[in-house]
């Protein structure tokens, strides 16, 4: 059974939780202990630690105890979802062994409609998250919050800087779209930036997102997997001076992005990777997790194709095509339809809705085709 790969939560964490206030998160969570394993049929969120850092240049052993202590000492919001800490996946004999264990566990949780929150470890574990969707019969949209694209060409070992190449190249290829939020141009070669354009992927520079965080909301609304590289946060806010980063998201911005990810009805897994074992960084990670859960507990569970009659439909002629928009009267969020073309090879097998913004609709009214719609159309036919 997949859950056999999991080891109990550290005793020091369990002892810490015993002394917490009765209203804290630590008193609301079910733990995997040496004596007991949580009933997964009764939970909605599962926290899973992965103690493998071999894909990183920071080779110290992964220690998640401080993150857990910081998180469980926080107080929940007005939440309804049940949370379990399923413990840790230990480092396998090889990285592939670790990937196998992660993929099996995450896949099992997703099948049970449980959202796994994976704490790494190095960011190459994103590849294992992606592989966990192989048997779920769907195309996958991946969003990373990262200052780099991670297209590196290290063929000798699997690294945090090269896992994305494996996702694109290796079979089975279930990736429909990749989006990056917060890349910093000087960390990426022009070849990588050109490849993003060539594959019709979406990438948003740090300044672009920081100046308008709401830009990220439709991107998350279309994501299945969200992977956070903590080096995307500037060191002054993360407390990580081991891998010094002068520029990046601040603490408030990364938490706002985590909340958007949680709000997305489609996001079914979250990974937080590439952290150090520093106490200061643990405080930020605990708050990132908190904001993701805050968003999750306020999901609106709306999707236009399921309830066409309650959504407002707008048809906008642009040149020789008709763009069809849908607006939710409940949340005032927007979608645009990607049509199914019957006489060509489509990745998508039916008309599909792409999350968009009100600004996309206004630009279409000015005869400007939204860039994300155009890219989605081209990707569909590759």
Helix or strand holding residue 270 (H, E): strand 269-273
What is the structure's pLDDT at 346? 54
Which domain, by its residues, includes 252? Answer: 2-296
What is the structure's pLDDT at 240? 86
**Which pair of structure tokens corresponds to residue 287?**
């708050």
Q: What digits encode the pLDDT tens for the residues 328-351?
A: 998 999 999 988 765 545 555 556
What is the structure's pLDDT at 137? 82
Residues 146 and 9 in one domain: yes
What is the structure's pLDDT at 276? 85
Residues 232 and 291 in one domain: yes
Residues 292 and 371 in one domain: no
Residues 280 and 331 in one domain: no
Residues 121 and 208 in one domain: yes
Give yes or no for a contact between 328 and 311, defined as CB atoms under 8 angstroms apart. Answer: yes
Give yes or no for a contact between 320 and 369, defined as CB atoms under 8 angstroms apart. Answer: no
What is the structure's pLDDT at 155? 57
What is the structure's pLDDT at 381? 66
Residues 146 and 240 in one domain: yes
Residues 317 and 292 in one domain: no
Q: What digits encode the pLDDT tens for the residues 283-321?
A: 999 999 999 999 999 999 887 765 567 899 999 999 888
What is the structure's pLDDT at 350? 57
In the chain (382 residues long), the average pLDDT of successive 10-residue segments reads 92 97 97 96 97 82 94 96 97 94 97 96 95 91 96 73 91 93 96 93 96 95 96 93 92 98 97 88 97 96 72 92 92 89 54 89 94 84 62
What is the structure's pLDDT at 348? 55
| ∠ Cα 47 51 57 (to 5°) | 125
| CA distances, 5 to each of 38, 90, 131, 288, 382 (Å) | 14, 8, 17, 26, 38
Which residues have a Cβ under 8 Å from the Cβ of 197 and sit 6 or more positions away? none
Domain boundary among 243, 274, 296: 296
Specify the DSSP class assigned to residue 9: P
Residues 209 and 287 in one domain: yes
Measured torsion, CA atoms of residues 284, 286, 289, 293, in degrees rounded to the nearest 10: -120
Residues 133 and 115 in one domain: yes
Helix (H, G, I), strand (E, B) or coil at 264: coil
- What is the DSSP track for 38-85? --GGG-SEEEEEEE--TTSS--SPP--HHHHHHHHTS---S----EEE
Residues 345 and 240 in one domain: no
Structural domain count of the chain: 2
Domain boundary among 255, 270, 296: 296
- Domain of 186: which CATH number? 3.40.800.10
Residues 256 and 291 in one domain: yes
Of 359, 328, 76, give the one whose Cα is nearest residue 215.
359
Residues 209 and 115 in one domain: yes
Q: What's the rounded Cα separation, in Å, for the pair 125 and 128? A: 5
Domain boundary among 241, 265, 296: 296
Strand 45-51 with 115-119, pairing: parallel
Q: What digits encode the pLDDT tens for the residues 209-230?
A: 999 999 999 999 999 999 999 9
């Amino acid at each position: 059974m997949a859950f056999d790969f999991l080891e109990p939560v550290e005793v020091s964490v369990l002892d810490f939780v015993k002394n917490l206030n009765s209203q804290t998160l630590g008193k609301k969570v079910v733990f995997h202990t040496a004596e007991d394993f949580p009933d997964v049929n009764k939970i909605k969120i599962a926290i899973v630690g992965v103690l493998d850092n071999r894909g990183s240049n920071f080779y110290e052993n992964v220690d998640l105890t401080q993150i857990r202590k910081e998180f469980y000492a926080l107080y929940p919001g007005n939440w309804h979802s049940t949370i379990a800490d399923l413990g840790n996946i230990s480092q396998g004999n090889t990285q592939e062994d670790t990937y196998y264990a992660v993929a099996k566990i995450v896949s099992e949780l997703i099948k049970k409609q449980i959202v796994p929150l994976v704490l790494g470890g190095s960011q190459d574990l994103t590849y294992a998250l992606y592989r966990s969707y192989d048997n779920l019969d769907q195309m996958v949209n991946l969003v990373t919050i990262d200052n780099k694209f991670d297209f590196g060409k290290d063929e000798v070992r699997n690294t945090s800087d090269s896992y994305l190449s494996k996702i694109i190249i290796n079979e089975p290829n279930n990736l429909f779209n990749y989006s990056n939020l917060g890349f910093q141009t000087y960390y990426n070669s022009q070849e990588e930036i050109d490849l993003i354009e060539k594959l019709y992927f979406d990438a948003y520079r740090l300044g672009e997102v920081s100046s308008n965080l709401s830009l990220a909301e439709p991107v998350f609304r279309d994501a299945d997997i969200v992977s956070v590289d903590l080096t995307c946060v500037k060191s002054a806010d993360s407390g990580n001076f081991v891998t010094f980063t002068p520029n990046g998201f601040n603490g408030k911005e990364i938490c706002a992005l985590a909340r958007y990810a949680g709000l997305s009805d489609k996001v079914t897994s979250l990974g937080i990777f590439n952290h150090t074992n520093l106490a200061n960084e643990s405080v930020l990670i605990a708050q990132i997790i908190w904001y993701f859960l805050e968003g999750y507990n306020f999901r609106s569970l709306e999707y236009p194709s399921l309830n066409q009659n309650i959504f407002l439909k707008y048809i906008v002629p642009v040149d020789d095509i008709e763009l069809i928009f849908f607006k939710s009267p409940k949340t005032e969020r927007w979608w645009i339809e990607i049509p199914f073309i019957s006489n060509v090879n489509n990745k998508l097998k039916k008309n599909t809705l792409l999350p968009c913004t009100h600004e996309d609709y206004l630009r279409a009214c000015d005869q400007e085709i939204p860039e994300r719609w155009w890219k989605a159309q081209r990707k569909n036919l590759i």
